[in-house]
Amino acid sequence: MKTFPAPSAVFRHALRPLAAAVLAWAAGTAAAQMSACTSDAALPPPALFERFISADCADCWRDPHTPAPGAAALLLDWIVPGAAGEEAPLSAAARRDALERLQALGRAVPATSDVHTAPVRAPRGPRPALRLALGPAVNDYVGASVRVRAPARGTTLWLVLAEALPAGSEGSPVARFVVRNTFSRLMGEREQLSKEKQPAVWQQIVPMYLPEGTQVQRLQLLAWMEADSGEVLAAARSVCAATP
């Protein structure tokens, strides 16, 4: 089975209609639809819980004793490229950014599976440090909006598009949030910050590619801010309102 990266040719082909969709969102013409999947009504997660599974380890995916956090935690399942490459049983969901995440954490590539957990700093102030919104799919892309309030220099934003798989689906006995795409950014002194009456804010709309087979209705947008020390300073997740 093959992985499905975002090749430049596909990106160029999709850029024009995607840009139009993003501009419509930014202009507010599709505000009602876009606002259906935001972090506005979601409580800030108290912990980050990341599971790393080697694409070689089908038994890890099928393990009924897979560690799991409480429902409030920000849960992610990273499928790490394995030694068998495209012949690995989980290669279709494997992502190279899982290797980048392991490197950022200073953790070795697992031969089977690994778990990383971290508490999230309690929110400070009435307004959330992170605000997320997820748009509709356009030509195999979705628009992900992220806003960071008072971003500190040297912190890293991790933005993750994950697909929620209920327990019992795709051969997994436990519920999973499989990473489908990511965006990360180191906040620096050159960030374009708006300094009006409100605290400094950084915001961006990120087009994120959808690998083949992704079920759009199951997608969630997740994000957290991480200090150099590894401390998770803030976290958020999008929640989609039920369709009337």
- Per-residue pLDDT of 69-82, as tens digits, reads 999 999 999 999 99
The predicted pLDDT at position 127 comes to 83
Residue 133 predicted with pLDDT over 80: yes
Task: Determine the CATH number of domain 8-238.
Answer: 2.60.40.2150
Distance CA 78, CA 151 (A): 26
Question: Which position has the higher pLDDT, 91 or 23?
Answer: 91
The predicted pLDDT at position 185 comes to 95
The predicted pLDDT at position 7 comes to 39
Q: How many angstroms separate the first and last alpha carbons of the chain? A: 38
Q: Residue 221: CB partners within 8 Å, gap ≥ 6?
A: 37, 39, 132, 133, 134, 144, 146, 159, 160, 161, 162, 237, 238
Q: Residue 13: CB partners within 8 Å, gap ≥ 6?
A: 139
Supply 15's token pair: 């850029």
SS3 at position 76: strand
The residues with which 51 forms a beta bridge, in sequence order, are 77, 115
The predicted pLDDT at position 2 comes to 37
**56: nearest Cα among 129, 114, 113:** 113
Whether pTM exceeds 0.75 = yes
Residue 54 predicted with pLDDT over 80: yes
**52: nearest Cα among 84, 100, 87:** 100
Which position has the token pair 């409480």?
70
